[in-house]
Amino acid sequence: MATAEGLHRLFELLPLDQAMSHLLATTTGPEEARAWVTNSQATPAVKAALWLYVDDLEKAHGIVQDLHNPSGSFIHAIVHRREGDYPNSKYWYSQAGRHPVIGALAGYQPYSFVDQAQKAGAANPPDLVDLQRAEWKAIFDYVVQEGI
């Protein structure tokens, strides 16, 4: 498992307010942060969320394809949204069902977020980037807490 001390190092390398700065991930994050994720010992869902954090959608996708649970589906939905595959994102949100993360974020509606991200395209409005980070933190905290 990625330890709290280890996570602290990742968040030093790539602070949350700098991570996932684009709605569409077109490049991966800093090499040192990606190396940290590569070497981390984490459950599959945590590892997938960490790959999302460093914008490596291909590696996150490779993991979530084999996670047949609501959290895996939720992360899978985020991957597809950040790839620009909006219909598939909505499909995976539907597979996640009424995931506890949805209620943890005030006013958060996954399908609406997909629509807003699609409309924004490459514009990266700060409010949507902030929501993307909050969504990531909520699912990350959840899978860490649940040990998924």
| The pLDDT value given to residue 7 | 86
Name the burial class of residue 71, with classes exposed (0-12), middle (13-18) and buried (19+) by CB atoms within 10 angstroms of its CB: buried
Give the C-alpha separation, 111 to 65, whole Å.
20
Looking at the 3D structure of the chain, how many domains does it have? 1
* Nearest partner of 105 among 140, 60, 145, 81, judged by Cα: 140
Q: How high is the mean pLDDT in each 10-residue block of the chain (148 residues)? A: 70 96 95 95 96 98 97 98 98 96 93 98 96 97 93
* Spatial contact of 37 and 47, defined as CB atoms under 8 Å apart: yes
| The pLDDT value given to residue 5 | 60
User: What are 119's two structure tokens?
Assistant: 């409309």
| The pLDDT value given to residue 1 | 44
Give the C-alpha separation, 129 to 139, whole Å.
16
* Spatial contact of 142 and 71, defined as CB atoms under 8 Å apart: yes
What range defines the domain where residue 32 resides?
A: 4-146
DSSP labels for 101-136? HHHHSTT--HHHHHHHHHHHTT---HHHHHHHHHHH
| The pLDDT value given to residue 74 | 98
